[in-house]
Amino acid sequence: MTPSGDTATNPPGTDGELSQRRRTKAPETRAAALMEAAQRLFIDKGIAATSIDDIAAGAQVAKGTFYLYFPSKEALLGALQQRFVDIFCERLQEAMDRQRPGNYHARLKAWVETGLEIYLDNVALHDVVFHEYRPEDRRMRNDNAVIAQLAGLLKQGDGAGFWDVEDATLTAVILFNALHGVADDAVATGQTGASERKRRARALTRFFEQALHPAEDEDDSAD
């Protein structure tokens, strides 16, 4: 998650020793270090309680340097959001692609399981990045990529006659929020163990499948 590689900028070997104090580094390195430090601190202490000072110190740069890479605390939070969503999408896509293209059942199951997994593995990060501080963005603006991705799957399944989906986007919204809510509930009730995750994933998948192809028989054997 952390890009490194200021190797191109400085002669190899030099950096490790000399760059400690006042040395130009590759912009990506700095920005990434700042983001890492911020993310860690945000999770640990909360956004409001984390000062720019803290972040700069965490990334071992001067305070002013922060503003060389991010115009504001809010902007950095935005970058963190973007990164979260990107990774979320990526991993969902990978999980789905591990299944046969035509196997919509398996793909949806993979989506549910992986989504739940990632979410529960990163609740702290997710909460920090999405629910604190910027209520306006809450309306899924940044989750659109995930919605769009899921809508794509639903459309394909509908086109293939596997599901009966009238409004793919609206259905994706429903599925996404259901998943989100079930995960939240797991966290709220403390039921985040492996077996509980499985139970919730199964319940979601079953619920979705039934809603999506009422005419067909559904079976959930052979996990």
Binding interface with a copy of itself (CB under 8 A): 127, 131-132, 135, 138-141, 166-167, 170-171, 173-174, 176-178, 180-182, 184-185, 187-188, 200, 203-204, 207-208, 210-212, 214, 218
- Chain centroid offset of residue 179 CA: 13
Cα distance between residue 83 and residue 3, in whole Å: 12
Identify which of residues 107 and 200 has a Cβ nearer to a copy of itself in the complex: 200
Residue 98: contacted member of a copy of itself, DNA, none (CB under 5 to 8 Å, by partner type): none
Helix (H) or strand (E) holding 53, with range, is helix 52-58
Answer yes or no whether residue 22 interacts with DNA by CB under 7 A.
yes
Identify which of residues 7 and 72 has a Cβ nearer to a copy of itself in the complex: 72
Q: Tell me which residues in 71-130 interact with DNA (CB under 7 A).
A: 72-74
Minimum Å gap between C-beta 30 and DNA is 5
Which region, judged by CB under 7 A, interacts with DNA, from 13-21, 81-89, 186-194, 197-205?
A: 13-21
Span between the terminal Cα atoms of the chain, in Å: 31
Identify which of residues 36 and 184 has a Cβ nearer to a copy of itself in the complex: 184
Q: Tell me which residues in 38-77 interact with DNA (CB under 7 A).
A: 48-53, 61-68, 72-74
Are the beta carbons of 89 and 147 closer than 8 angstroms? no
- Number of neighbours of residue 27 by Cβ within 10 angstroms: 12
Cα distance between residue 202 and residue 112, in whole Å: 9
Minimum Å gap between C-beta 223 and a copy of itself is 16
Minimum Å gap between C-beta 124 and DNA is 20
Q: Would you give the binding string for DNA spanning residues 202-221, x where CB under 7 A is met?
A: --------------------
Q: What share of the chain is helix, strand, coil (3-state, %, to 5)?
A: 70, 0, 30
Instruction: Encode burial over 143-162: b for 16+ CB neighbours within 10 A, e otherwise.
Output: beebbebbbebbbbbbeeeb
